[in-house]
A and B are shown apart, each in its own frame.
Chain A
């Protein structure tokens, strides 16, 4: 795969970049006011599993202090997770409290299901430790037993974990831009080709960090199969927090039937399409995906519309709280925006769980339908980013995107939000609903043109 020649500084106005480029160049790249780039500098606070867990835990504690236990409980959408090797002791404690449950070990920075395995016995991780990234872990274990009385986390062992902190941004002046240029890195070009996807690209860290997470043993099954949901959230800024939710998305099915008896069969448990593609059962034509509209209808016919409303508003809660938890940590550069791919798992009680957030969701298409979804998604993203400065900034819907959070909840109703009792408040989200984006865009741009004419 050829990398396009690196542009000289300041020669582009819009860059859909790789996270690796970002890491190397963002800090010393000057950007004019209008310039836009498709990642936040330290997005990994949200998208790397170990950081996300930490931020979420901290946010939860803060909520508990400020608003009480009930409010904090709304953050309980993340299965109990422990960083390895730092939180190994805490993990063992939790492990012993719940004998017999299944855990899943995931590498923090890899994607597409690579390096993941399930286990039920401590013996299983002992074996893994001896083999793999366990060098650090072994040395920790070898030390005399230390008190694990540090409830808020593992600050005492921070030194052993390779946390990367962002260097302070450096700026230096560059000549003015010469022409309007839009740069697309390789990962977007492959929308049209059937190449490798670019889920959360690998960061070059010398030590492989893992997280051990409680495995959800009672996933909701359709046709006997496990699935997870991929939902798209577009964040235009963190301070203030402005986030849009895309109406379309899909459910990704595992090709094999779910059973807890075969935890070695990674094909059953992992629903990433990338992993499924290597399963012997995989039929590429199928793509094993359902559009969210179909999924929503299926659930409605089985559980009724109210239960579905509750589920979807619980999911809204996940999106908003997860973003709020990193709001203060992420460097909110006005040039940055980011399109996240959220992975959600539903359990049999219709409770949604957050599996992870991807900063570079795959844009390769596994079917015609998938291709349509992703091209429309990108198109609408560009509409919201609005390089052409056509929007007024007061829009609540652009194409398939609904404004979900605008420094506060956004209501479906017109007029100022009535936050007093949250009585009739319905959030402005339409996940899995009809997406008549073409019509909406036509009407939107026509009325914007009209407004422009009127004011000129």
Chain B
């Protein structure tokens, strides 16, 4: 059941009204997701009761005024967040995925050589390298790439100049499909912001700006418990990052509005998860007394703000930044923390990663498994965050170019495998999980495109 009322403020006000004095109950649709949802909501509820903080409340006028004045510098606020805990962290989510089993599937002979030795035990179809080579054909060795063929040693006449010229032409013609095709070879720095907007079909119309302003008003008027979680997440992750700390204020402006944006609920139509609901006390199960909480149905987890941080490099106008992030979320990011069988879903990505490693780097895979360092335990956090905060920003943006270009997140799994392949020699020498983590702790010096190219096109399969 999705809210379709256009009057956003009315909706929010209703939610707040209904939530007075209530707690959350999960909808038990699918067992695994159901119990996971239950856990999250339990965590949220207990925080609520422990801290005696309501899920939502209307702000007194004085507080509203204060917040409005401080809107552009919310980062300077230092509320006491010590008692708040992130609702969950990626590693908690990994445990859930590991325990997924499809009851309909017969495993058959468990000693068959095709047995999967990784952590994911769900038999989804994933691509192998020949299929990936076909899928990512534009990343091949004979095609020019930004991230490789624009390095200082390569004269710009060979590729870069022409590529920039084509990019400008694509933008001039406002051709979204052409832009998507073009960006598979990477986007020039100066054109990236516009290209992404074109591909995501974002144009800042007055109604979009107005919508953002409405969301902002909602933030001013109502205080949600998740706001504190957002604050905490930003302070713990983005604010501590060597580069993203500068954009702290923008992150609040985006994420606080995001949590109130009921239009985001639309993505649940193609997401097999369902948003958490709250019921008025005593009316559990009666749909007319249910509301979604938070209003956008997305409970932030530890590291969530890192989805937004890299975008601050490209967009400086709050409503445009917001729109781009929202679109990126409902097209891609949501798949990284919800359970589904979609090829870009996190389950498939994990399986793809493990299969690639087991098939093409078997020695490394077995070695790591032997020492108790299942590779997925290390690479999971990279994939859940789409590598944000792990790669250098310019490399990350080149990677996200390809996500947009291929409309798929599979490249994250391929990159994760490529990173392991790159550091294989060192990894073969480690003897513990901690040591393996140490080898892979710092990805900030990696060059993404050469790694991908070598792994896909230059390794003997």
Interface residues of A (CB under 8 A from B): 222-225, 253, 256-257, 281, 283, 285-290, 294, 297-298, 300-302, 304-305, 367, 369, 433-434
Query: SS class of chain B's interface: helix, strand, loop or mixed?
Result: helix
> Once bound together, how far apart are the Cα atoms of A257 and B239, in whole Å?
15
Contact B152 A288 (CB under 8 A): no
CB-defined contacts of A300 to chain B, threshold 8 Å: 189-190
**CA A133 – CA B193 in complex, angstroms?**
53
Residue contact B239 to A283, C-beta cutoff 8 Å: yes
Beta-carbon contacts of B294-336 to A below 8 Å, as 1s and 0s? 0000000000000000001110100000000000000000000
Query: Who on chain B is nearest to A299 by CB?
Result: B189
A394 to chain B, nearest CB (A): 22
Can you identify 11 A-B contacts, CB atoms within 8 angstroms? A223-B248, A223-B249, A257-B72, A257-B73, A288-B245, A290-B242, A294-B243, A297-B394, A300-B189, A301-B190, A369-B242
| Other-chain residue from B72, B78, B313 in contact with A298 (beta carbon distance below 8 A) | B313
Which of A223, A286, A301, A305 interacts with B240 by CB under 8 Å? A286
- CB <8 Å contact, B76 and A257: yes
Question: Is B455 interfacial (CB-CB < 8 Å)?
Answer: no
Given A224-B249, A297-B393, 14 more contacts at CB 8 Å? A223-B249, A223-B250, A224-B73, A283-B240, A286-B239, A290-B246, A294-B243, A297-B189, A301-B192, A301-B313, A304-B190, A305-B189, A369-B242, A433-B152
Q: A290 to B189, Cβ gap below 8 A?
A: no
A286 to B241, CA, bound (A): 7
B247 within 8 A of A: yes
In the bound complex, CA of A257 to CA of B73 (Å): 7
Using Cβ atoms and an 8 Å threshold, which residues of chain A touch B314?
301
Provide the B53-81 mask, 1 if CB < 8 A to any CB of A, else 0: 00000000000000000001101101000
Collect the chain B residues with CB atoms within 8 Å of residue A290's CB: 242-243, 246
CB distance A257 to B240 under 8 Å? no
Closest to B246 in A: A223
CA distance A253 to B245 in the complex (A): 10
Which residues of B from 366 to 414 have beta carbons under 8 Å from A?
Answer: 393-394
Q: Does A287 lie within 8 Å of B242, measured CB to CB?
A: yes
- Which residue of B has the minimal Cβ distance to A258? B73
Report whether B189 and A222 are in contact in the complex, using a CB–CB cutoff of 8 Å: no
B245 touching A286, Cβ below 8 Å? yes
Determine how close the nearest CB of chain A comes to the CB of B231; give it in whole angstroms: 15
Known: A257-B73, A281-B76, A304-B190. A223 touches B312 (CB 8 A): yes
CB distance from B399 to the nearest CB of A (A): 15
Residues facing A in B231-290 (CB within 8 A) are 239-240, 242-243, 245-250
- Whether the Cβ atoms of B246 and A253 lie closer than 8 Å is yes
* Interface residues on chain B, number (Cβ under 8 Å): 26
- Using Cβ atoms and an 8 Å threshold, which residues of chain B touch A287? 242
Contact of A367 among B78, B242, B246, B393 (CB under 8 A): B242
The CA-CA distance from A257 to B394 in the complex, in Å, is 26
Query: Which chain A residues border B72 with CB–CB below 8 Å?
Result: 224, 257
Q: In this complex, what residue of A is CB-closest to B192?
A: A301
Is there contact, CB below 8 Å, between B247 and A223? yes
CA distance in complex: A254, B149 (Å): 37
Q: List residues of B (179-195) whose CB comes within 8 Å of A's CBs.
A: 189-190, 192-193
A260 CB to nearest chain B CB (Å): 14
Q: Are A256 and B76 in contact (CB under 8 A)?
A: yes
Inter-chain CA distance A225–B72, complex, in Å, is: 11
A131 to nearest B CB, angstroms? 31
Residue of A nearest to B70 (CB): A257
Assess whether A301 is in contact with B193, with CB atoms less than 8 Å apart. Answer: yes
Contact with A along B194-214 (1 / 0, CB 8 A): 000000000000000000000
Q: Which residues of A contact B250 (CB under 8 A)?
A: 223
A288 CB to nearest B CB, Å: 7
Residues of B within 8 A of A285 (CB): 240
CB distance from A110 to the nearest CB of B (A): 28
Per the bound structure, the CA–CA distance linking A290 and B247 in Å amounts to 12
The residue from B243, B247, B248, B316 contacting A302, defined by CB atoms under 8 A apart: B316
Neighbour of B246 across the interface among A225, A305, A433, CB < 8 A: A225
What's the nearest-Cβ distance from chain B to residue A407, in Å? 28
Cα–Cα distance between A327 and B316 once the two chains are bound (Å): 43
| A285 to chain B: closest residue by CB | B240
Q: Which residue on chain A has the smallest CB distance to residue B392?
A: A294
A285 to B236, CA, bound (A): 12
Q: A288–B241 Cα gap in the complex (Å)?
A: 10
Q: Report Cα–Cα, A286/B248, bound state, in Å.
A: 12
Which of B72, B246, B248 gathers the greatest number of chain A CB atoms within 10 Å? B246
Contact partners of B192 in chain A: CB under 8 A: 301
A222 to B244, CA, bound (A): 11
Give the CA-CA distance A301 to B243 in the complex, in Å.
15
- In Å, the complex CA distance between A222 and B243 comes to 11
Residues of A within 8 A of B242 (CB): 286-287, 289-290, 367, 369
Complex Cα gap A437–B247 (Å): 30
CB distance from A397 to the nearest CB of B (A): 12
Give Cα A200–Cα B245 distance, bound, in whole angstroms: 29
Query: How many Å from the CB of A229 to the closest CB on chain B?
Result: 14
Best-surrounded residue of A222, A288, A302, A434 (most CB of chain B within 10 A): A302
Contacts of A304 in B (CB 8 A): 190
Determine the distance from Cα of A251 to Cα of B421 in the docked complex, in whole angstroms. 35
| Residues of A contacting B73 in the complex (Cβ-Cβ under 8 angstroms) | 224, 256-257
**In whole angstroms, what is the CA distance A288 to B240 when docked?**
10
Task: Tell me, in angstroms, the Cα distance from A76 to B190 when the chains sit together.
Answer: 30
Q: How far is the CA of A256 from the CA of B78 in the complex (A)?
A: 13
Instruction: Give the nearest-CB partner of A251 in chain B.
Output: B246
9 shortest A-B CB distances, which residue pairs? A223-B246, A257-B73, A304-B190, A301-B189, A223-B247, A300-B189, A286-B245, A222-B246, A224-B249
A301 vs chain B, min Cβ distance (A): 5
- A301 and B393 CA atoms in complex are apart in Å by 12
Taken residue by residue from 143 to 176, chain B's Cβ proximity to chain A (1 for < 8 Å, 0 otherwise) reads as: 0000000001000000000000000000000000
List of A residues within 8 angstroms of B247 by Cβ:
223
Q: Determine the distance from Cα of A222 to Cα of B246 in the docked complex, in whole angstroms.
A: 7
Nearest-neighbor residue (CB-CB) of A434 within chain B: B152
Residues of A close to B193: CB separation below 8 A: 301
Residues of A contacting B243 in the complex (Cβ-Cβ under 8 angstroms): 290, 294
Interface residues of B in 87-146 (CB under 8 A from A): none
Q: Which residue of A lies closest to B444 (CB)?
A: A369
Please, how many angstroms separate the alpha-carbon atoms of A304 and B394 in the complex? 15
Tell me the complex Cα distance, A304–B75, Å. Answer: 29
> Nearest-CB distance from A442 to chain B (Å)?
15
Give CA–CA (A257, B312) in the complex, Å: 17
Cβ of A302: which chain B residues have Cβ within 8 Å of it?
Answer: 316
Closest residue of A by beta carbon distance from B188? A305
- Residue of A225, A281, A289, A369 most packed against chain B (CB within 10 A): A225
How far apart are the CA atoms of A372 and B427 in the complex, in Å?
Answer: 25
In this complex, what residue of A is CB-closest to B235?
A: A283
Per a CB cutoff under 8 Å, which of B190, B245, B249 touches A257?
B249
User: Given the complex of chains A and B, what is the CA–CA distance between A413 and B84 in angstroms?
Assistant: 59
Please give, as numbers and ranges, the residues of chain A lying within 8 Å of B312 by CB-CB distance: 223
For A224, what are the chain B residues with a Cβ–Cβ distance below 8 Å?
72-73, 249
A224–B240 Cα gap in the complex (Å)?
17
Chain B min CB distance to A227 (Å): 9
A385-B105 Cα distance, complex, nearest whole Å: 72
Q: What is the chain A residue whose CB lies nearest that of B243? A: A294
Q: For A227, give the chain B residue with the smallest CB separation.
A: B246
CA distance A222 to B249 in the complex (A): 11
Query: What's the Cα separation between A304 and B190 when bound, in Å?
Result: 5
- B306 CB, min distance to chain A CBs, angstroms: 16
Residues of A within 8 A of B75 (CB): 257
In the bound assembly, the distance between CA atoms of A312 and B111 in angstroms comes to 64
